Amino acid sequence: MAPRERIGVYPGTFDPITLGHLDIIRRGAHLVDRLVIGVTNNPAKSPMFSVEERMAMIRREVADVAGIEVVEFDSLLMDFAEREGAGLILRGLRAVADFEYEYQMAGMNQQLNDRIETVFLMADVCLQPIASRLVKEIACYGGKIDKFVTAAVAADVAARLARK
Ligand code: ADP
């Protein structure tokens, strides 16, 4: 019998994708055969980039990583993971600030579907403080964001701000 493919889902808003996200993706890709990056539209967060733009940026940034798929989703995370045939959900854990929310979400998701495990990964220490929200805030005030995102993403952010 052929071994079952291990599929993981990495959900997020990715507005925009940062070096922290990319580090988690690279680490996560080693753990599964196929990693599905689930991009939520999340209009409540008033994103800087449309979900299509965010997906295109992610695809461009992970073009060299094998076994990655980028998919939009706007359903319950556990339903999305089930639909994709995933056995695990990857989340990045930053400082204590993330813990409370992630702990609660993982606990409730466990109640919703006990067959799918949530796995927490830590990004490289120097990438841990990075958050998309702060990247946008720094860029809005004219600060440099090239330590937090790739050059191509920094250019996308600059172009978006110039349009405003
Ligand atoms: P953000 O909170 O930056 O808007 P997302 O909603 O896109 O990010 O986050 C998707 C996932 O990536 C979450 O699990 C989040 O904790 C994780 N993540 C985001 N930035 C980092 C980072 N710098 N290091 C580790 N994990 C991260």
Q: Look at the chain and report how many structural domains it folds into.
A: 1
Buried b (16+ CB within 10 A) or exposed e, 23-44: bbbbebbeebebbbbbbbeeee
- Asked whether the beta carbons of 62 and 152 are under 8 A apart, the reply is no
Ligand 1: distance of its center to the CA of 2 in Å? 34
Atom index in ligand 1 nearest the CA of residue 98 equals 16
Is residue 41 assigned to a domain?
A: yes
Q: Residue whose CA is closest, atom 23 of ligand 1?
A: 20
Is residue 79 assigned to a domain?
A: yes
Per-residue pLDDT at 123: 93
Is residue 34 assigned to a domain?
A: yes
In which domain, by residue range, is 149 found? 7-163
* Band of pLDDT at residue 42, cut at 50, 70 and 90: confident
Q: Can you tell me the mean pLDDT for 109-126?
A: 93
Is residue 2 assigned to a domain?
A: no
* Band of pLDDT at residue 1, cut at 50, 70 and 90: low
* Mean pLDDT, rounded, of the chain: 94
State the burial class of residue 52 (Cβ atoms within 10 Å of its Cβ: 0-12, 13-18, 19+).
exposed
d(CA 42, CA 35) in angstroms, rounded, equals: 21
Is residue 114 assigned to a domain?
A: yes
Is residue 1 assigned to a domain?
A: no
* Band of pLDDT at residue 25, cut at 50, 70 and 90: very high
Q: Is the CB–ligand 1 distance for residue 148 below 6 Å? A: no
Tell me the CATH number at 68. Answer: 3.40.50.620
